[in-house]
Each structure stands twice: as C-alpha cells, then as structure tokens.
Structure 1
C-alpha cells in the first residue's frame, strides 16, 4: 500500500474508530490520522497472525474495516493506560 493510500485509509479508520468510541481523547485531525495508520498496522497484524486473513494491499472495504479494528484496539488500550495513570 502506498503512502497516500495509507494516509487515506488511516484517516478513514481513525474517524470511524473515534465514531465507534467517542470520548475526550486529545488530538485533532493529525492524531486521528496517526491512530488510524497505527491501527492499520495493528489490525493487519491481528488479522494476518491470528486469523490467517488477507494482506492489506489496496484501499478497499476490507482494509478500512481491518484498520478500524486496529484503531479501536489502540484507543481502548490508550484509555486503559491513561485511566490508570490518573
């Protein structure tokens, strides 16, 4: 997946993850994109390693859903870490 495609999928996945898990998370559009991009890596790892699923190679519904799954996982972990720190 090219850099531009990764950014587009990351943006979509980050927005969907924030929509699924609304809350007072810090950051604007840049942080949302970064969470989505990191979610693409996490979601891809989860699907490929644990379930033997397809590789993320292009922009499509499956890559967006997998990236969103990863972004939701990252948001959940982030909230667990920050909740315990306070």
Structure 2
C-alpha cells in the first residue's frame, strides 16, 4: 500500500470514527489522518488475533482492512476521551 493511499484511507477512517463517537475533538486534519492510520494498525492487529485468515475465492463485498481501520480508530478515540476526561 502506498503512502498516499494510506493517508487517504486514514483520513476517511478517522473522519468516520469522529462522526461515530459523540463529542468535539480539536485534532484538525493531521490528527484525523493519524487517528485513521493508527486505528488501521490497531484494527488490523485485533482482527488478526480474533479471526483466522481466510482464503476467499470470491472477494467479499466490503474491504475488511477499511472496516478494521474504522473500528480501531473508534477504539482509540474512546480511549482518548476517557483519558482526557480523567485528567
């Protein structure tokens, strides 16, 4: 995966995560991109621990890596809000 596609997917996944989790964050574009990229890593790691690798003969209708990035970004955002509220 190229760096440009990683940035674009990170931006989209981070923006969706920010829409799903209520509240306001002052991240800006760079923070949203980093949230999506790191969320992709977290979601991919959790997905590989939970689900066994599958050999699909037909491509699934949804990109699992993109969904993992959104789930990971939501998890990171919830943790961030929890830590921020306690400080």
TM-score w.r.t. length of structure 1: 0.83
Q: 1:16-39 CA distances to partner (integer Å, 9 max, x unpaired)?
A: 101111312121111101100000
Q: Which runs of 5+ in 2 are unaligned?
A: 55-61
Identify the residue that residue 44 of structure 1 maps to in structure 2: 44
Residue 21 of structure 1: aligned partner? 21
Task: Compare CA radii of gyration and give the structure with the larger one.
Answer: 2
List gaps (5 residues or longer) in structure 1. Answer: 55-59
How high is the TM-score relative to the length of structure 2?
Answer: 0.82
CA RMSD of aligned residues (A): 1.6
User: By how many angstroms is 1:50 displaced?
Assistant: 2.2
Cα distance change of structure 1 residues 74 and 53 upon mapping to structure 2, 3 Å threshold: farther
